Structure 1
Amino acid sequence: MIIFSPFFHSARFVHVNFFAKPIDGLINKTTLGGVLTLLSFLISGVLLLSELYQFALVDTHEHLQIRSGAKESVAIKVHITFPYLHCNDLQVDYVNTKSDEKLDRKQRPVVKRKVTSKEEKLLKQANFLPPSDAGSSAALGPVGCTIDGVLNTVVVGGNFKISLTQNVWGAVALQGMQSVEKLMNVSHYVHDVSVGKYFNKKVNPLKNLPVGIPEGIGLVQFYLKVIPTIYKRPMSMTKKQYQISMTEQFVKMSTLLVTGNMQQPGVAFSYDFTPMEIEHQESRENILTFLGSLFSVVGGIFVSVGLVSNCLMKAVGASKKLD
């Protein structure tokens, strides 16, 4: 410190002082200066809020890219209620059509269970109660079955179907068309059929979807095109979801019998993953750029107003001299 003490002497810094303090007696405060100062604060505040708003905005960019060929594991959530059928009347079949492998059911297998009170409330809102039992709190009674669970599979095409069992279908089919339609009703309520994890930007056409069948019996086929979507957000982990595009087809029981189709009445889902994926990237202005803009706005406003004030003062002084 002894060696550098001459360099850091306080007198040396006086020569580079750009913020010299004016003498109080030489300062002339005017009404015009006060008005311009208030105007400067007002404009600075408006521009400051504008900069904050621009910084809070997120720029979104989307583009298509080829999906990687790596085998990924994905969960297909299934939650469907059949209000007019017993659980013993239904069976669940699922297979990966392109790999010919059964889906993995280790984590949470699909189960058949009774309808809960919450599900029953949704069924009532969808007018799924039998006419003879309308208004009864126990309208479903022992009838009604919910299929609930998760199918874990790799990202390849496949299908799963919830339908009448072979024994039930064989027994009721012998009773004739009219008897079958009175005995069996495969109308159902799709609470949720989704692929992958859910978050708020996802739009799912197979959520809270009532599927009423006027004839009571037939095969409802859903063809799903699954689109992988990658979300990249600032200051957050990259998330991947799967959006669904859906088409629906209904096959009457008479058509199934005439064409010799061995499929039982119920609901079937055929899905396939697109070879392309959507990358959804969100970005925000750099914090250093934002701070630089703030200082530029505030400093620029006061400098500009100061120049205007000096020009006005000189103009006023010049006009007084001419007078």
Structure 2
Amino acid sequence: MSGLRQRKGAAAGPATVFDTIKSFDAYAKPLDDFRIKTKTGGIVTLISFVLVALLVISEFVEYWTPRMEPSLVVETARKERMWIDLNVTFPHMPCMLLGVDVMDVTGEQQNDVSANIFKVRIDQMGGKIDEEAARIGHEPISEDKQKALAARRDDPSYCGSCYGSDEGCCNSCQSVKEAYGRKGWSFNPDNVEQCIAEGYIDELALQRNEGCLIHGHLEVNRVAGNVHFAPGKSFQQSNMHVHDVFGFVAETSRFDEGDGKGSPITFGHRVNKMAFGKATPFRNPLDGVEKEGTDVTTTYQYFIKVVGTRYVFLNGTTTSTNQFSVTEHVKSARAADGTGMLGLPGVFFNYEISPMTVVHTQTQRSLGSFVTGVCAVVGGIFTVAGLVDGALYGANRLRTGKVDLGKGS
């Protein structure tokens, strides 16, 4: 007996560090002899592994893919300029009768814009007539007429009359138009020598059944204002923005009297592109908008709310642009009695600037968040699977017990 006691004491021995650690094991393992494996348990386990794999892959994709977090801040920038990119087609409006103007609440005006804005003559099918776009405000002249006019201008003794609008010389139809504009006079090319020599009236008649594609960009103050496409040359008179619509009225009158051929002149249009700021990954609400014109006196107005948008990327780069919403209104500029016009026909884009800016910040999940998500997926799936397997096993035992007692069906 004493020998046995000595052998028991020797087996027990002093507790080691590993024995101490072993005492903290919260996951006690049953012997294999006490484990029961079932078909339902195998099915539940396979399904669990598939679900875990799918959800872990989903977690990894979400972790690896950056996302944009939007926030709203007050715009603090001052004295900024804004870029407007435009491309508009007028199928039934000759380029010679159409001008582009910009106005804003500061009083700044860009009349008959020619810088970075181009026009292309198009036929009724939308095909380009001119291979090279001519700048707005400069009327196309045939090659023969250009040579004749060049020879006349080279004559040092020639000084074309400005017809009382200027004391200097006006050696071209365009210079006479500009002199009239500075005076605020209506321009009639029918009796102007320079316009007759250049074939201005013939050119206008030639373009009567053409359309015009206007494209380019504008740089404006970042304040409320408008960009409008309207007939005739514009100028400022007595602090007012005025359009000389003589040619426009004359051409529409000729068509009304039966002299015109083809389609009537209208301000029907298609907005191919209208963007405020740099190119954006989203589609602007005006892109593709099309209006069929039926009356030459129709005024199309678009009221645009521009919201500054900034993208901040993970690499530290920043891109600033604008988004906008738009509403529209269509009305006739013709007087109720039909004897005149109460407004200016055309297409007007009236824009306002929001004081708020939307900031899209690119973010990515942290590694800790990814690991936590994976652990939650694995633990949650196997915990639920254990509950399901236990319930199925219990139900199966209950059924088997009833069969053994002769109570099963």
Taking structure 1 as the reference length, the TM-score comes to 0.63
Deviation of the 1:110 alpha carbon? 1.0
CA distance in 2, matches of 1:142, 1:213: 14
Are residues 1:65 and 2:73 paired?
A: yes
CA distance in 1, matches of 2:380, 2:247: 87
CA distance in 1, matches of 2:216, 2:266: 23
Deviation of the 1:150 alpha carbon? 0.9
Deviation of the 1:242 alpha carbon? 2.0
Deviation of the 1:76 alpha carbon? 0.8
Letter in 1 for 2:299: L
Number of corresponding residues: 277
- Per the alignment, in what secondary structure is the counterpart of residue 351 of structure 2? strand
Residue pairs, 1:1-323, within 5 angstroms: 31-32=37-38, 36=41, 38-50=43-55, 52-53=57-58, 56=62, 62-98=70-106, 100=108, 102=110, 109-115=116-122, 119=126, 143-166=210-233, 169-173=245-249, 179=255, 184-202=265-283, 204-231=284-311, 238-239=318-319, 240-254=321-335, 258=340, 261=343, 263=344, 265-280=345-360, 285-298=365-378
Considering only aligned residues, what root-mean-square deviation do their CA atoms show, in Å?
4.8
Deviation of the 1:82 alpha carbon? 1.3
Letter in 2 for 1:85: M
The answer to whether the 8 A contact 1:44-1:297 is kept is no
Q: Which string of whole-angstrom CA distances, capped at 9 and with x for unpartnered residues, describes residues 35-61 of structure 1?
A: 535523422431442454466398876
CA distance in 2, matches of 1:267, 1:45: 60
Deviation of the 1:109 alpha carbon? 0.6
Q: Which string of whole-angstrom CA distances, capped at 9 and with x for unpartnered residues, describes residues 1-42 of structure 1?
A: xxxxxxxxxxx99997999xx99xx7788543x753552342
The answer to whether the 8 A contact 2:92-2:209 is kept is no
CA distance in 1, matches of 2:125, 2:66: 38
Unaligned runs of 5+ in 1: 1-11, 122-139
CA change 1:299–1:50 in 2 (3 A) is closer
- Per the alignment, in what secondary structure is the counterpart of residue 243 of structure 1? strand
The answer to whether the 8 A contact 2:52-2:381 is kept is no
Letter in 1 for 2:86: V
The answer to whether the 8 A contact 2:117-2:216 is kept is yes
- Per the alignment, in what secondary structure is the counterpart of residue 207 of structure 1? coil
CA distance in 2, matches of 1:116, 1:171: 20
Identify the range of structure 1 (172-181 vs 37-46) with the bigger mean alpha-carbon deviation: 172-181
Identify the range of structure 1 (272-281 vs 178-187) with the bigger mean alpha-carbon deviation: 178-187
Deviation of the 1:184 alpha carbon? 2.8
Letter in 1 for 2:218: L
- Per the alignment, in what secondary structure is the counterpart of residue 294 of structure 1? helix
The answer to whether the 8 A contact 1:198-1:241 is kept is no
Unaligned runs of 5+ in 2: 1-16, 129-206, 234-242, 402-409
- Per the alignment, in what secondary structure is the counterpart of residue 266 of structure 2? coil
CA distance in 1, matches of 2:315, 2:271: 36
Q: Identity rate of aligned residues, in percent?
A: 20
Letter in 1 for 2:54: L
Taking structure 2 as the reference length, the TM-score comes to 0.52
Letter in 2 for 1:71: K
The answer to whether the 8 A contact 2:48-2:382 is kept is no
CA distance in 1, matches of 2:95, 2:355: 37
